[in-house]
Structure 1
Amino acid sequence: MRHERLYDVSENANVRFVGFASDRARYDFGLVFTNQFFGKPLVICMQTGRSTLLSADEAENVEYLQRTFNISSCEEAEQLSVFFQHAIPRMTVEPEHE
């Protein structure tokens, strides 16, 4: 079997670990800030191993967070959305120079 290498990059990434509890659940997340993935941090739920690349704009999508992290309560997903909107910086797009 032949494999085609798509990328192989080493990088010193900024990693933030955050744990917090709501009235219904405890959350432990790892946020990996890197230059890969178009500036989107890799968000990893430490309890379930579920992960996603998440921008601040995508953090506003409560249904996406609920589905991705398997959260049963819409209220819990809304609280998580607020947390991620504060924890993940907004990306700015640099205009291309001609």
Structure 2
Amino acid sequence: MELFEKLYDEDEKVKVRFVGFTTEVARYDFGIVYTNLFFGKPLVICMQTGRSTLLDPLDLEDIEYLQSIFKIEDRKQAVELADFFAEELPGLAYEPDYY
């Protein structure tokens, strides 16, 4: 009896970028994994906390989401982080047609 139903098992050569930067009050270290999986959204990993999420430009408009996922208390810091990612993350190359 098989306990798991495999949904996907993909191998892919991807581009990974590591970037560290500081603001007036915080230091950030991120790994950004550019993949064709997950509808083309890059996987963004905070190297300090291990928190990660898939991000695209539309996600960056939700500052509260960034604050929640990366545990940032100061809204200004989250806005600065969104501004950084807005310059660094590509737009979506794939728009799914669910229906």
Structure 2 length-normalised TM? 0.89
Q: Which runs of 4+ in 1 moved over 6 A?
A: none
**AA partner of residue 7 (structure 1):** Y
**AA partner of residue 78 (structure 2):** A
**AA partner of residue 11 (structure 1):** E
> Matched residues in 2 for 1:16 and 1:86: separation?
14
> Matched residues in 1 for 2:36 and 2:76: separation?
32
Match of 2:5 in 1: 4
Match of 2:40 in 1: 39
* Structure 1 residue 93, shift from structure 2 partner: 4.6
Q: Deviations over 1:22-47 (max 9, x none)?
A: 11110000110001000100000000
**Matched-pair identity in %:** 54
Aligned length in residues:
95
The alignment yields a C-alpha RMSD, in angstroms, of 1.6
Tell me the SS of whatever aligns to 2:7.
Answer: coil
Unaligned runs of 5+ in 2: none
> Matched residues in 2 for 1:31 and 1:69: separation?
14
Match of 2:92 in 1: 91
Tell me the SS of whatever aligns to 2:58.
Answer: helix
Tell me the SS of whatever aligns to 2:18.
Answer: strand
**AA partner of residue 86 (structure 1):** E
Contact 1:60 1:85 in 2 (8 A): no
Contact 2:14 2:35 in 1 (8 A): yes
Contact 2:39 2:94 in 1 (8 A): no
Match of 2:20 in 1: 19
**AA partner of residue 47 (structure 2):** M
Contact 1:59 1:65 in 2 (8 A): yes
